[in-house]
Amino acid sequence: MKWIKRAIRHSFLYPIVKTARFERTMRRWTEQDQEMVDFYRQFINPGDLCFDIGANMGNRTRIFLKLGARVVAVEPQSQCMAFLIKHFGNDQRVVLVQKVLGEKAGQAEMMISDENTLSSLSHEWIRKVTESGRFGDSTWRKKQMVRMTTLDNLIRQNGMPSFMKIDVEGYEYPVVKGLTAPSGTLSLEFTPEFMDAVYQCIQHLSSLGKIQLNYAVGETMALALSSWVTPKEMIGILNGHRNAELFGDVYVRFEA
């Protein structure tokens, strides 16, 4: 059975099957969707501006819209952007940006995975998760040249977001380096193989202003800590997960 699944994944049929699955997701509202709405409500109010960095197929964009927010969805992959245009292109609350974010504007080469959620600009991240076997037999066989802009530019063009979701498969630090002033609350994905990049993000953000941090494990949709902590405390907590199989998101908010 495994070899059949592997063969399908590496065939031309897989993107079609994957897109069909997302189409079905868009047509229904699940208990998990509601859990996400309830979770993100603590960060997002009606009328707020949100940035969905690494929007993929719009999973979080959909949730942010449900909360009454306006969304700038940033996604470089052509197949994903076609899906986003189909489902959100006529929604005046959504701005679609087919670019990646980084430390400076320009162009970059993206490694495209057979699982589009795993496509990345970071060769090192791909190497580490391949060595750990975190994503099974996923491969990165294709490449795509993509346009790059910065968080500063995105803010200049669209306004200051109340919340930013950054999920860019190991490229979080260059994305955060493109921010040179305090912003609203933001989330950063972490995996144990690439924890140093999260530490760099925390250090950069703390250089912009005083910050507090929390985190959520996996897709639990619940903050793990009852109170927010300092950068030093968060780094200590994450160090405890370095050798574990845990992944999740770090949440960062600037103090007023």
Q: What is the pLDDT of residues 37-79, one digit of tens each?
A: 999 999 999 999 999 999 999 999 999 999 999 999 999 999 9
Supply 191's token pair. 């995996």
Give one DSSP letter per residue of 177-212, joined into a string: HT--S--SEEEEEE-GGGHHHHHHHHHHHHHHS-EE
Q: Tell me, what amino acid is at 81?
A: M
Please, are residues 202 and 252 in contact by the beta-carbon 8 Å criterion?
yes
**What does the mean pLDDT of the chain come to?**
91
Q: What is the pLDDT of residues 96-142, one digit of tens each?
A: 999 999 999 999 999 999 899 899 898 998 898 888 877 788 889 89
Q: How far is CA 127 from the centre of its chain?
A: 19
pTM of the model: 0.89
State the pLDDT at residue 2.
47
Please, are residues 188 and 252 in contact by the beta-carbon 8 Å criterion?
yes
> How far apart are the C-alpha atoms of 65 and 158, rounded to whole Å?
16
Classify 15 as helix, strand or coil: helix
182: burial class by Cβ within 10 Å (0-12, 13-18, 19+)? middle
Supply 123's token pair. 């060769």
- All domains of the chain in start order, with CATH: 2-254 (3.40.50.150)
> How far apart are the C-alpha atoms of 123 and 58, rounded to whole Å?
25
> How far apart are the C-alpha atoms of 103 and 173, rounded to whole Å?
9
